[in-house]
Structure 1
Amino acid sequence: MHYENVLATIGNTPLIRMNRIAQEIPAKVFAKVESYNPGQSAKDRIALFMIEEAERAGKLKPGGTIVEATSGNTGFSIAMVSSIKGYRCILTLTSKASPEKISLLKSMGAQVVICPVDVEPADPRSYYSAAERIAHETPNSFYLAQNFNLDNAEAHYRTTGPEIWKQTRGKITHFVCCAGTGGTLSGTARYLKEKNPDVKIIGVDAYGSVLKKFWETHEYDPNEIKPYKVEGLGKNIIPHNMNFELVDDFVKVTDKDSAFQTRDLAKYEGLMVGYSSGSAMQAVFEIADELSKDDVVVVLFSDHGSRYLGKIFNDEWMVEQGWLECEPAEAAAGMGSTPPVKHFEHYAPAEATGSAAYFYSYEAMRDRYIKYYRTYRLKYKKYIRLTRQTLGL
């Protein structure tokens, strides 16, 4: 079997069960791992679909220029599709984008324009405004506008949703997905809700984003906007692709929890996935006390971890954020959901050998510590919820 080009390999990504990391969660938890796409992210799906829809509509002509404002992953996918189809590609990013992402975009032939991150969307310096201006000033160009282009969500309605339904044999009960442009969440959710209205859709948002507050109040609150580290979720605008009526619950997660969960996915599941994947996994823990052994949870991991080697997988960066309490050299052995507990190895009896030596090893003791920590956290959350129900709060 062969493919005409790399675009034919987009989609049909695997569904992988989470085992060690999810052992304290009563439900079956599966990850839809989008890093198996050729561009290593879910954005391959929308880049190809939006560009081909623009071609069919006559909005994009041969030899033209594609312009987009992106957090990085969509940009790489657009650059990949552009290189194969022969388009010029200009991308605007915020200064929050990792150096790895910027290098990847340039390696695919894209022209990259970096814009400040802490400005209002309407500010001429914002990456939205810059993209609009560049598209207006560039002849024979087309601004994809993933936040407002409804083909974004349509791509996931036609591909991601049907794949998940087929892979779970229709048994999915919960879909957990980060919300950014809203395309992945809304498109997939629309298909799943059509197949079974009882499927629970859980959106994941960042502290510093406006999405969860808008879902709760139907009002845009600029006071919610604050800087945050995690990439690939959250917005300071309300994207047209975000269908809030499809969402049953929204969960906010912290930068720190997201980072440690991402590192855990590599350590315990062998999955080198991106920062927002840790956010999505953290959200599963946040709703764990609502799940039962009969539930089937699908959590979407949107991209690959290689794009974050200079950040969350870099111990020096983690120490700079104040998230690791030890020196970088000591941190290497302590990747996990909580800052590493140092010097456990000193407690091993001198005569311990074989399995006994392992029992007292740093690795084994630390793994037990994390297991007990997670178990306590889940039981504590359940206790608080039941207490509030009893008191009628």
Structure 2
Amino acid sequence: MTDALERLSGEGVAIWLDDLSRKRITSGNLAELVDESHVVGVTTNPTIFQKAISAGDGYDGQLTDLAARRVTVEEAVRMITTADVRDAADVLRPVYDATEGQDGRVSIEVDPRLAHNTAATIAEAKQLAWLVDRPNLFVKIPATRAGLPAITEVIGKGISVNVTLIFSLERYREVMDAFLAGLEQAKAAGLDLAGIRSVASFFVSRVDTEIDKRLDALGTPEAKEARGKAAVANARLAYEAFEEVFSSDRWTALEKAGAHKQRPLWASTGVKDKAYKDTLYVDELVAPGTVNTMPEPTLHAVADHGAIRGPAMGKEQRGTYDEARADIDALEKLGVSYDEVVALLEDEGVEKFATSWNDLLDSTRTELERRAPKGA
């Protein structure tokens, strides 16, 4: 069942799980996925935690203790989420050691309500790194305009970062620039660059969802033909930008000082449209030096019937950069604005995570109040 996953890993794609819960850790399921399904990392986000904690599995004891201490709901949420991430990091620690820090990583996101506040994002990132206290942690910072200087500052302090919610090629280039600037700051401060790692999470399926909606509204044969192509084309052009930036003289100087490349991570790879193959955003985004973080149903689908046929992007591969550019250009000719779509998706992404975080706070508050000591 894992042959396709083994082939995918063999092509240089790190397979990460886009999900976490306490039950997944305590039941041994996470360790099983690591041992049997080539999973070498875990990503989380506010929506994942909201679903996990709202389901209630495994959190009763900690919630009771937190209620007895009369902690604030914000503190309770951070104690719960960082506990899960810390335990998951311990499960993944052997992978981290075996890959010399490349994989075995677990990500936790800064409070999404801080996405447009640079100083608060930096402070939160430092706090999360201290709370989890594991070398294989990634702190997730959203790639908003305010997030860019935060990325530089946090990397410059030696904290490994997963940059999240990247939709546009322009923003992705800004993210890579922020990463390099952070490494330069770390180097100037005398830090060991070899100990700093980063990934850049480029979101995939949401691009097709939004663009296909606009194409369907047009209803022309040309619009129908363009459906389902934008997300893969966008990601492939991101990989072209990655190859360009990480072959520059600026990068070479940092690499000689011990730095490691910021890998592209394909996020939101669960297919939303049932008309498309459920492994589309895995099969068509195979490239060395990348990460693909999958929800568990996608992971199992790839294991069962994924079509891993070697590298799927590059100048001479089956998905050429010229073809990808042609697919994006076709949208503009149809009147679908790429710039408008990716800007909307960034705004919506931050808003959705903030909504999930507020829902998580509300449900946790309810549980704390229910468990509050009598007469409190």
TM-score, normalised to structure 1's length?
Answer: 0.25
Structure with more contact order per residue of length (Cα contacts < 8 Å, sep ≥ 6): 2
Larger relative helix fraction? 2
Q: Tell me the TM-score normalised to structure 2 length.
A: 0.25
